[in-house]
Structure 1
Amino acid sequence: MATPLSAAAALAALRAEGVRVAEVGNWRTHNRNQKGAWGPVNGSIVHHTVTRGTDSTVRIVCDGYASLPGPLCHGMIAKDGRVHMVGWGRANHAGGGDPKVLDQVIAESYGTRPTPPTKGNANGVDGNARFYGWECENLGDGKDPWPKAQYDAIVRVQAALCRAHGWSAKSAIGHLEWSNDKVDPRGFSMATLRADVAERLKHPASWNPGDTPTTPSTEEDPMAGITKRDIFDAVWKTDAIGGPVDAADHATNPTWQPQSILKDVQARIRSMDKRMAAQTAAITALAGQLGGGADTAAIVAAVEAAIERAVIDVNINTKEG
């Protein structure tokens, strides 16, 4: 059980949770307190309006009807996600409900949903004294959509109240879970809504779902356990490229895969190194036989440079191919 929040405290809690609020008239003192107590409060009830149009809906929940004076809730959550505050104090929203449900909400002792109610508006206990109430703009036919902005606002409003009172998400229920003659809200699951409220309560009030998680992710790392050898095998043993250009290439590289290409290039370079060394020795000997008229060092350097250019050309062509 808890003392109801003041209007100022409620407004601060909603705004801290990221709720966009519109204050309607004298909402802070607009209530039905002359008809009975408001408090202690034990939770929050979500409704749908069975109306269309934000402006007309705000007027209805603020003023009520001849047979049911307003306010009909504390705030109306519009399609665009804005919450229109229309009253604070006792409001005509919950009516009679099942005392067993009230006990379960107070103790937060139920599972995914409270026990289905067996009492309703005519024979139940007074819910207007015990719950905050939030009407949500929707036709309630199961077809009228719930825009993302609106649903997000519903979650934030319930989280704001639960956070302010130190409640869990189980203190937020739907009207259909309170009274056996009600069907609202229709179009989403209250169990899902409570799960989303519970997720918000794990984070600071300023949290947005796109923010970096405050706790380490338990999602499995797709690269976990992969070694350098695994990457080598995946790249060089399985990624075949274009086929051989002639029969000679096919003879040295029958599978024509990157791994065998590298081995072939490496073997060719080693062969060139050996041939260059042999040719350098032969040129040196030949220059010596020619006598003093030849510049042995210059001849050897020129030949080595020509061979080196050939090796570089092979490497460049291999990388670009």
Structure 2
Amino acid sequence: MGWYPGATRMELQPESDAQPAIRPTQFIVHSIVAPWTPKRTYEYWRDSTNLESHFGLGYDGSLGQYIGTHTRADATGAANRRPDGTGAVSLESASNLEASDPWTAEQVETLIQLGVWLHQTEGIPLRICRTADDPGFGYHRQFSEWNPDGHSCPGDARVRQFKEVVFPGIVARAAGQIPEEDDMPTAAEVAREVLTLDGIISVPGAPATNPTWTLSSVQTEILKRIDAVAKTEAAQTAAITKLAGLVGSGVDTAAVVAAV
């Protein structure tokens, strides 16, 4: 039970059959601190550790599922399974080796689609968890009960994305405000285009170093550049005013500045 049709099934055994059942009430996202595909994550769970997540997400948005959502997975501390039988659905996502990069646009889209499915099929409520036991959506470091080792998973950039893009996207999609098949570009796609247009705004290396610019990132960049232009203009005006003043007392300084 609890197999997501949008994921490739890569069932872990004996865990899938041997571990106890849960009633899923939370969805908690992680970064695996490795640029792995879902298949490589499956191999790691199978061969190298007794831990595992329900899902593995690649940079390209590909998704693998290793255990059904009604079976315990062991990635999230006390949230794996509680005494009352409730537990969390967990997802590990590909990241760089420092877990400092943002999710790609493709990863964001898959997270939103999966979040909507979990809401619709498992009844996970559309809210960010308020406590460690509260049903809803969350990220690994959010509560110490989920993260007893105290690490930063899924990383600062992804926590911001979770709050500003992923969770609002799940809510909007679940409410029917954004059709699943939509020809409109995403915010990340608009941002990338704006930041790489010749002659408008060029950020050298932006697509490679930050492939998921959000609209707020674009706005911040634009404001920085407008401010720089304003400072340059103010300096030029001051220089022109000073030059006009040196011409002679009979010169209308304001008129000279305005003319220039």
TM normalised by structure 2 equals: 0.54
Pairs within 5 Å for 1:164-313: 164-170=121-127, 171-179=136-144, 180=147, 181-186=150-155, 187-188=157-158, 189=160, 190-192=162-164, 193-203=166-176, 207-210=180-183
Residues 194/138 of structure 1: CA separation in 2 closer, same or farther (3 Å cut): same
Pairs within 5 Å for 1:1-321: 6-7=1-2, 10-12=3-5, 15=6, 21-24=7-10, 26-27=11-12, 31=15, 34=18, 37-54=20-37, 55-60=39-44, 62-63=45-46, 65=48, 68-70=49-51, 72-88=52-68, 89-96=71-78, 130-139=87-96, 141=98, 143-170=100-127, 171-179=136-144, 180=147, 181-186=150-155, 187-188=157-158, 189=160, 190-192=162-164, 193-203=166-176, 207-210=180-183
Residues 140/174 of structure 1: CA separation in 2 closer, same or farther (3 Å cut): farther
Deviation at 1:80, TM superposition (A): 0.6
In 2: Cα distance, 1:49 partner to 1:129 partner: 24
In 2: Cα distance, 1:50 partner to 1:160 partner: 26
Task: Give the residue type in structure 2 aligned to 1:44.
Answer: F
Does the Cα contact within 8 Å between 1:94 and 1:128 map onto a contact in 2?
Answer: no
TM normalised by structure 1 equals: 0.45
Does the Cα contact within 8 Å between 1:160 and 1:205 map onto a contact in 2?
Answer: no
Identical positions, percent: 15
Tell me, what secondary structure is at the counterpart of 1:199?
A: helix
Moved over 4 A (4+): 124-129
In 2: Cα distance, 1:39 partner to 1:125 partner: 8
**Per-residue Cα deviation, 1:191-223 (whole angstroms, up to 9, x for no partner):** 222111101111189623436xxxxxxxxxxxx
Question: For this pair of structures, how many residues does the alignment match?
Answer: 166
Residues 128/142 of structure 1: CA separation in 2 closer, same or farther (3 Å cut): farther
Residues 91/127 of structure 1: CA separation in 2 closer, same or farther (3 Å cut): farther
Unmatched tracts of structure 2, length 5 or more: 128-135, 185-260
Does the Cα contact within 8 Å between 2:53 and 2:75 map onto a contact in 1?
Answer: yes
Tell me, what secondary structure is at the counterpart of 1:58?
A: helix
In 2: Cα distance, 1:173 partner to 1:184 partner: 11
**Per-residue Cα deviation, 1:257-288 (whole angstroms, up to 9, x for no partner):** xxxxxxxxxxxxxxxxxxxxxxxxxxxxxxxx
Corresponding residue for 2:219? none
Root-mean-square deviation (CA, aligned residues, Å) is 3.3
Tell me, what secondary structure is at the counterpart of 1:42?
A: strand
In 2: Cα distance, 1:127 partner to 1:146 partner: 33
Tell me, what secondary structure is at the counterpart of 2:4?
A: helix
Does the Cα contact within 8 Å between 2:24 and 2:89 map onto a contact in 1?
Answer: yes
Deviation at 1:163, TM superposition (A): 1.6
Task: Give the residue type in structure 1 aligned to 2:55.
Answer: G
